């Protein structure tokens, strides 16, 4: 949540028992000494650091460290006869909350917030400025999979969209006096129509932002019911260094709804496996399976009906599509074979792929290539096989995953998400909503 750590500034994957550099942080210590995406780190401090049993934790323990300290690595690079030595001085490495921002169509800007770290608000404003310069006049904020983080950045982002004196959030508990948070009217995004994407893993700060915009009739919400995490906890430290977190209050969004999903005393298992139970009950596949309790009925500022009971229920429901998820797909993804093949392909064809310097150009080129057949051979060589009739439902997803991972290595995160989400039904619905409703639930003028 601090937004940075001490390290050498690379992202990596363990590929065939070696450390494979998938990207190098721009302006970071590794880029400064000439490390490249596609390099394989073979030695650390002149000792072999490869082989079976190597874990990501092992790698991070050796490569991370205090700012200003040195680490020497030996790198295998395709086309070089010997290992290349690099001595890298560790530095503060930023951890970004905004994973992607790009333009969709003529004037829709897309921003994906992965978590709410300390710098999330600033990163969000920078993303908005970049999209504004590209001619974007509407925004889609993607909070899917965002399990939360710090509360203040979420409140600050909500404030950007609201006129003055709008309630954003309040907290209240049995022995905790109610505290209200209001908008100040100085937000820079008040003119933007906005859609927010959520799913069953959007939690805590994600729900605060989503609920504040929905209850103020400031955004349409698209997706599935969010997680339902809305407790205020106070950490009480002890002399031995341990601590206990005590729940002292709950979060409430402007309509009076409590974000926190209910807990029935003694029903620990039901509470713990809530998402699985939603799937088994059919809720993730059909809005009609959500049980609305009339006593938990509330109204937004503009009089729209919304419901409490845990989480944020979207205005437009998009079901979870599991048709392509086969056991074979779970194996090739879970074992890192899709990304491993993609990164290997990118390295072996790097010179040829340099000509395709945008996500759209690269996608058009890769669409004409047969990536599936060599991938099936790659997976089979690593003992993951399957009959074609069982594999075929997953082929479109594998093609998408390979293309997007190649794009990530060559062009970065924005390109990855552009290709990974090509054809995504939830994003497609968001675009449909925001384009058809140019005045998306705008806040009424005071």
The DSSP bridge partners found for residue 74 are 43, 85
* 147 and 262, same domain (yes or no): yes
Q: Would 426 be classed as within a structural domain?
A: no
Residue 352: partners with Cβ closer than 8 Å, 6 or more residues away: none
Q: Which of 320, 339, 364 is the last residue of a domain?
A: 320
* 129 and 278, same domain (yes or no): yes
Q: Residue 358 is encoded by which pair of tokens?
A: 């945008």
What pLDDT is attached to residue 444?
43
Q: Would 437 be classed as within a structural domain?
A: no
Q: Residue 230 is encoded by which pair of tokens?
A: 């809305």
Radius of gyration from C-alpha coordinates of the chain: 24
- Phi first, then psi: what are they for 188, rounded to 5°? -95, 0
Separation between Cα atoms, residue 389 and residue 76, nearest integer Å: 39
Q: Which of 272, 294, 320 is the last residue of a domain?
A: 320
Model confidence, pTM = 0.91
Separation between Cα atoms, residue 196 and residue 234, nearest integer Å: 29
* 112 and 214, same domain (yes or no): yes
What pLDDT is attached to residue 438?
52
* 250 and 109, same domain (yes or no): yes
What pLDDT is attached to residue 60?
92
Domain with residue 40: its CATH number is 2.30.42.10
Q: Would 85 be classed as within a structural domain?
A: yes
* 392 and 344, same domain (yes or no): yes
Residue 91: partners with Cβ closer than 8 Å, 6 or more residues away: 6, 7, 9, 28, 29, 67, 68
Q: Would 438 be classed as within a structural domain?
A: no
* 46 and 121, same domain (yes or no): no
CA-closest candidate to residue 312, choices 282, 289, 290, 294: 290
Separation between Cα atoms, residue 138 and residue 274, nearest integer Å: 34
CA-closest candidate to residue 179, choices 250, 260, 257, 255: 250
> Residue 279 CA to chain centroid, in angstroms?
21
Q: Would 434 be classed as within a structural domain?
A: no
* 238 and 312, same domain (yes or no): yes
* 110 and 163, same domain (yes or no): yes
Coil vs helix vs strand at 135: coil
- Domain count of the chain? 3
* 260 and 372, same domain (yes or no): no
Contact between 153 and 121 (Cβ < 8 Å): yes
- Phi first, then psi: what are they for 118, rounded to 5°? -60, -30
Ranges in the chain, pLDDT < 50: 439-440, 442-446
Secondary element (H or E) of residue 145:
none
* 183 and 287, same domain (yes or no): yes
Q: Would 162 be classed as within a structural domain?
A: yes
Kind of pairing between the strands at 297-299 and 176-182: unpaired
Taking the CA atoms of 73, 79, 82 and 84 in sequence, report the sign of the dihedral they define: negative
User: What are the tens digits of pLDDT across the range 377-405?
Assistant: 999 999 999 888 899 999 999 999 999 99
- Return the active site residues: 204, 215, 229
Q: Which of 320, 342, 362 is the last residue of a domain?
A: 320
Q: Residue 61 is encoded by which pair of tokens?
A: 């323990």
Secondary element (H or E) of residue 66:
none
Instruction: Return the HEC string of 267-327.
Output: CHHHHHCHHHHHHHHCCCCCHHHCCCCHHHEEECCCCCEEECCCCCCCCEECCCCCCCCCH
DSSP 8-state class, residue 368: T
Domain that holds residue 52: 4-94
Q: Which long-range contacts (CB under 8 A, 24 or more apart) does 233-236 make?
A: none
Domain with residue 189: its CATH number is 3.90.226.10
Q: Would 399 be classed as within a structural domain?
A: yes
* 161 and 251, same domain (yes or no): yes
* 178 and 244, same domain (yes or no): yes
What pLDDT is attached to residue 385?
93
What pLDDT is attached to residue 1?
53
Q: Would 144 be classed as within a structural domain?
A: yes
């Amino acid at each position: 949540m601090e937004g940075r750590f001490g390290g050498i500034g690379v992202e990596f994957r363990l590929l065939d028992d070696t450390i494979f550099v998938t990207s190098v942080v721009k302006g970071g210590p590794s880029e400064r000494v000439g490390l490249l995406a596609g390099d394989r780190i073979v030695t650390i401090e002149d000792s072999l650091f490869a082989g079976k049993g190597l874990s990501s934790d092992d790698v991070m323990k050796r490569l991370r460290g205090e700012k200003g300290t040195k680490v020497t690595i030996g790198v295998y690079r395709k086309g070089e006869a010997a290992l290349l030595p690099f001595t890298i001085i560790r530095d503060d490495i930023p951890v970004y909350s905004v994973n992607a921002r790009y333009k969709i169509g003529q004037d829709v800007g897309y921003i994906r917030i992965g978590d709410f770290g300390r710098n999330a608000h600033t990163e969000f404003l920078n993303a908005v400025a970049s999209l504004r310069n590209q001619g974007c006049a509407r925004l889609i904020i993607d909070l899917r999979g965002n399990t939360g983080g710090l509360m203040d950045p979420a409140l600050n982002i909500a404030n950007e969209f609201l006129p003055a004196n709008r309630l954003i959030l309040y907290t209240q508990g049995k022995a905790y006096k109610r505290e209200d948070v209001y908008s100040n009217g100085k937000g820079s995004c008040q003119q933007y129509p906005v859609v927010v994407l959520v799913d069953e893993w959007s939690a805590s700060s994600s729900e605060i932002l989503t609920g504040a915009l929905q209850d103020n009739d400031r955004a349409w919400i698209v997706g599935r019911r969010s997680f339902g995490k809305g407790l205020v906890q106070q950490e009480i430290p002890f002399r031995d260094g341990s601590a206990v977190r005590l729940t002292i209050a709950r979060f409430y969004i402007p309509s009076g709804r409590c974000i926190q999903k209910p807990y029935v005393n003694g029903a620990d298992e039901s509470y713990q496996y809530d998402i699985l139970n939603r799937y088994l009950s059919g809720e993730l596949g059909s809005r009609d399976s959500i049980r609305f309790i009339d006593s938990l009925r509330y109204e937004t500022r503009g009089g729209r009906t919304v419901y409490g009971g845990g989480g944020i229920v979207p205005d437009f429901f998009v079901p979870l599509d599991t048709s392509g998820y086969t056991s074979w797909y779970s194996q090739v993804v879970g074992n890192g074979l899709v990304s491993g093949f993609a990164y290997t392909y990118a390295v072996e064809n790097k010179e040829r792929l340099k000509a395709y310097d945008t996500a759209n150009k690269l996608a058009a080129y890769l669409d004409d290539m047969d990536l599936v057949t060599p991938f099936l051979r790659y997976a089979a060589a690593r003992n993951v096989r399957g009959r074609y009739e069982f594999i075929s439902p997953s082929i479109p997803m594998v093609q998408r995953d390979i293309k997007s991972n190649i794009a990530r290595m060559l062009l970065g995160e924005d390109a990855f998400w552009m290709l990974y989400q090509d054809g995504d039904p939830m994003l497609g619905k968001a675009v449909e909503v925001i384009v058809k409703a140019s005045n998306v639930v705008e806040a009424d003028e005071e």
